């Protein structure tokens, strides 16, 4: 009974640590991509900032349509505080998160298949 509780607690702590490490990797990846684009591919970075401005304008339009009462406050927040570069960083973070999670999941699946095929192929 105590061993089961201890094992369950340990698995929970490891799961939380896994999520925190994954989030840190995603954050660092997003920041590195943002810095790399800003330093070495200025044309691409400018085009992405313009695209982020379109996304920002779309968000503002949706806020005006769905919540016209609070549209002025949302407009001040989205445009005044965030701006297109912040929206771009958020979008890069989303894409980096998807890519990092895909790679981690792919590697874990490949590792589990390799260990399963190795254990099946070994004579007992």
| Cβ-contact 55, 48 below 8 angstroms | no
What number of CA atoms fall less than 13 Å from residue 36's CA on the CB side?
7
pLDDT digits (tens, 9 = 90+) for 49-70: 999 989 888 888 888 888 888 7
Q: Where are the domains of the chain?
A: 27-117
| Better pLDDT: 43 or 120 | 43
* Cβ atoms within 10 Å, residue 87: 19
Q: In Å, how far are 13, 33, 45, 98 from 27, measured between CA atoms? A: 21, 10, 18, 12
| Mean pLDDT of all residues belonging to the chain | 87
Share of the chain above pLDDT 90, in %: 56
End-to-end alpha-carbon separation of the chain, Å?
32
pLDDT band at 115 (very low <50, low <70, confident <90, very high): confident
Q: For 13-41, what is the mean pLDDT?
A: 95
| Cβ-contact 29, 96 below 8 angstroms | yes
- Say whether 42 sits in a helix, a strand or coil: helix
pTM here is 0.76
């Amino acid at each position: 009974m105590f061993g089961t509780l201890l094992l369950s607690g340990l698995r929970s702590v490891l799961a939380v640590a896994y999520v925190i490490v994954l989030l840190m990797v995603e954050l660092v990846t997003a920041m590195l991509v943002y810095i790399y684009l800003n330093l070495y591919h200025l044309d691409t970075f400018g085009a992405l900032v313009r695209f982020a401005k379109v996304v920002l304008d779309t968000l503002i339009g949706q806020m005006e349509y769905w919540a016209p009462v609070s549209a002025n406050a949302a407009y001040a927040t989205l445009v005044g505080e965030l701006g297109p570069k912040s929206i771009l960083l958020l979008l890069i973070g989303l894409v980096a998160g998807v890519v990092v999670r895909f790679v981690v999941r792919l590697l874990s699946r490949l590792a589990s298949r390799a260990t399963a095929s190795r254990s099946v192929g070994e004579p007992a």
